[in-house]
Amino acid sequence: MVLALVSGLLGLCGGLGGSLLMDMVRRQRAKREEPILSIQPTREALYPAEVQEKPCAYARVHVCNDPERNAATGVGVYIEHVSGGSEDDKEKLAFLEGRWLAWANADRGDANVPPAMKTIRKKDWIDLAHLNSGLPGKAIVDVRPQPSTESTVNRLGPGTFTFELVVDVHNASPRHFKVDLVHDGETWDGKYESAADRLQIGAVRTNDEPGS
């Protein structure tokens, strides 16, 4: 009877051990398959467009996923913190914190609502800021929902601005990045070939320790 009891306990432990081992294997496999997102600069300096019959030029970055991983679902990018520029822009930088950025070619139709969350298998584009020939000397940060047309809280003057961005995603951990935006504050003439002289994406790097 004792022998039968011991055998039963060993069998029970073996079953539990096997279940725990299988669960650990499944969790490790799921971890390996989680999407890994990054922000990367694009080859093009600025992208041409037209808004309300005014030439515009957009500074964009890629939001990329490791092609060997699962598709990333529920992806959005928001501004955690902005630094740089002049004293005149300090209140504007504070306003930008916590705001979502627009997906390129997707969120201009109705800029007064939050951006739709994306599924990213390989990559997509996010708009950080743009020039508008109708607003001389300003870089317009592409937050969504956007402020009213009378507001200037998302329009920056000259300077180098460091945007701390969070790539939020439903099926993985959020990732943190720093992106520099360089604006010379000069009036853009509306010609696309000269847009990169006025506005450009600078350094892009990971920011694994937010606030550092």
Sorting pLDDT into bands at 50, 70 and 90, what band is 147?
A: confident
Nearest Cα neighbor of 133 from 45, 197, 53 is 53
> Rounded to two decimals, what is the model's pTM?
0.82
| Per-residue pLDDT at 211 exceeds 60 | no
Query: Does pLDDT of 6 surpass 50?
Result: no
φ, ψ at 187 (rounded to 5°): -70, 130
d(CA 59, CA 183): 11
Least confident of 13-17, 58-62, 181-185: 13-17
- 197 token code pair: 């002289």
Residues 96-122, mean pLDDT to the nearest whole number: 87
Local confidence band at 114 (pLDDT 50, 70, 90 cut-offs): confident
pLDDT at 140 over 80: yes
